[in-house]
Structure 1
Amino acid sequence: MSADSVVFDPSEAPRDAKAWREWFEKIQESDHPEEGEFDRLSPELRAWYDAMTARFPDFIRTDTNSPNAMDYSLMGSAILFDMPRGPGDFGEAEKLAKEQARALGLGTYDIMSDDGREGRHIVFPDGPLADLPKPRSFFSRLFGKA
Structure 2
Amino acid sequence: MSADLVVFDPAEAPRDGEAWREWYERINEDDHPEEGEFDRLSPALRSWYDAMTKDYPDFIRTDNDHPNGMDYSLMGSAIHCVMPRGPGDIGEADKLSNRLVKELGLGTYDVMSDDGREGRHIVFPDGPLPDVPKPPSFFSKLFGKGKG
TM-score by length of 1: 0.93
Within 5 A, what are the aligned runs for 1:1-146? 2-83=2-83, 85-142=85-142, 143=144, 145-146=146-147
CA distance in 2, matches of 1:64, 1:71: 11
Number of aligned residues? 146
CA deviation string 1:5-24 (max 9, x = no partner): 00000000000001101100
Q: Note if contact 1:116-1:132 (Cα within 8 Å) is conserved in structure 2.
A: no
Q: Are residues 68 and 84 of structure 1, via their aligned partners in 2, closer, same or farther at CA, if it must alter by over 3 Å?
A: closer
Q: Are residues 111 and 55 of structure 1, via their aligned partners in 2, closer, same or farther at CA, if it must alter by over 3 Å?
A: same
Percent of pairs with identical residues = 74
Uncovered stretches (5+) of structure 1, i.e. residues with no partner: none
CA distance in 1, matches of 2:86, 2:126: 34
TM-score by length of 2: 0.91
Q: Note if contact 1:121-1:128 (Cα within 8 Å) is conserved in structure 2.
A: yes
CA distance in 1, matches of 2:32, 2:146: 47
CA distance in 2, matches of 1:78, 1:114: 17
Secondary structure in 1 matching 2:72: strand
Q: Note if contact 2:57-2:68 (Cα within 8 Å) is conserved in structure 1.
A: yes
Secondary structure in 2 matching 1:10: coil
Uncovered stretches (5+) of structure 2, i.e. residues with no partner: none
One-letter identity of the residue aligned with 2:30: S
